[in-house]
Structure formats: structure tokens, C-alpha cells
Structure 1
Amino acid sequence: MLGVVITTALFHNHPDLPEGQLAKLRASVVNMRALADVARGLGPSGLGAYLLLGKGEETTGGRDKASILADTLEALLGAIYLQYGLDIASEVIHRLFDPLMAESAGRARGWTGRRASRS
């Protein structure tokens, strides 16, 4: 669901970008590192502060592991979707990911501009 919302937003907001560039843009927004960064920005201490972890993960820094944070954020978004439906889940996704999409799109436009200026 996250991928569909992000892909739809990128397609509608950047119809002039070629398909390959849109795919790269989507990949820069929907990946483990980006999801973990968004999760770290939730709440006063990040999403990791709210996790119940086993002793092993607790002692090895599991609260800040990118894979755990990314999976937790995806699970949270899935729960929001199941409880409240696609419209509310889309709103939440946009609030969390629109800044990242804008930043990534700016970089993509810079890549496109540099490539065009070399030609």
C-alpha cells in the first residue's frame, strides 16, 4: 500500500519525468534506509522508543536498527490502513513522506538537468 500511494503521488506530481527516473525516485523514497529515517522522526524519541524488544535486540541496539524501524513503520501504516481505510492511510503517508518525496524530486531534477547540460 505504501508503494502504491508513493508511486501514484510521484506520477501525478512529476508527469514530465521519464519512467526510469520515476522508478529511481520511488526507490529513493521507499527503501529500508528512508523508512527507518522517517520512523526515527516520529514522536519525541522516534518510533524505536515504543517497541517491545527481546533482551538480545535490546542489548544490540535494536531500537535504532534500520531493518526493525522500517518493518515497524510498514506494520504501523498497514494497521492504519486496516483500521481506517485507504483515505486516512494515504493522508498519514503523505504527511510522513511528502517532504522526502520533494527532496528526492529536487535531487532527481538536478540529475536530469546535469545530464541535459552535458549533451
Structure 2
Amino acid sequence: PVLKNNYLASLMSAGAAFVLAIGLYGGKPAGILLWPLFGTTNQLLASLVFATLTIYLLKKKSPTWPTALPVVIVTLTTLAAMIWNIKGYVTAKNWVLTSVGGTILAASLVLIYLSTTTYLKEKRARKAGK
């Protein structure tokens, strides 16, 4: 496999960063166009951390609202922003950013589903006295 060569793999990742740094897309720096998508993934990572902490607190039989409330707020606002961005990308016929944004949105929905089902499972186990 090509990517097992450390030099080639490093060159490819550095090359991608270089293209984003100096490349132009539609007259704008390519990195700036990806910035909203980066912001979304960053906020979703924060949501995932809070969701993990919430489930941990639930297992420890501690109050979960200090972490559950931020999960809901950050997740909902981030998803709304991502949907807003995707609408803009579709309107601009920017199919690359639309597909990347759509992939991030789909992954977000999967994470929300998994986090919610795990939380509910732990909540039921807690009520059952386990």
C-alpha cells in the first residue's frame, strides 16, 4: 500500500495543507471556505465530549444535568448552523462543500443516535438498580 511509506504519506498531508493555505477556489482562499465546516466538527467534538461525560456521570450515579444541558444546546445550535451552511452551499452550487457538509451532518446524526441510545440504556439500568 502506498500510504505505508511514511515519506509519501507525510508529503501528501503536507501537500494538502499547502494547497489549502495558498490555493484559491472561486477567488477565495480554499482554507477559508472550509473554515465553517471545521467549526462545525469542532463543536460536535465538544458535544461528544459532554455526552461521554454525561454517560459517565450517570454510571457514577451523579447528577447529569450540568453536562446534559450543554450537550443539547451545543448539538442543536451546531446542527442548525450546519444545515444553514449546506443550504448556502447548495444555492451556490458548491457540490464539494455540500457533500463534505452532508457527510459531517450524517456522521453527527449517527453520533446523536448512539449517544442518546446509550444514555437511555444507562438510565433504564440505573432505575432497575444495576
Fold in common (TM above 0.5): no
Determine which structure has more spread, i.e. the larger CA radius of gyration: 2
Q: TM-score, normalising length from structure 2?
A: 0.27
Q: Which has the higher contact order (CA 8 A, sep 6+)?
A: 1
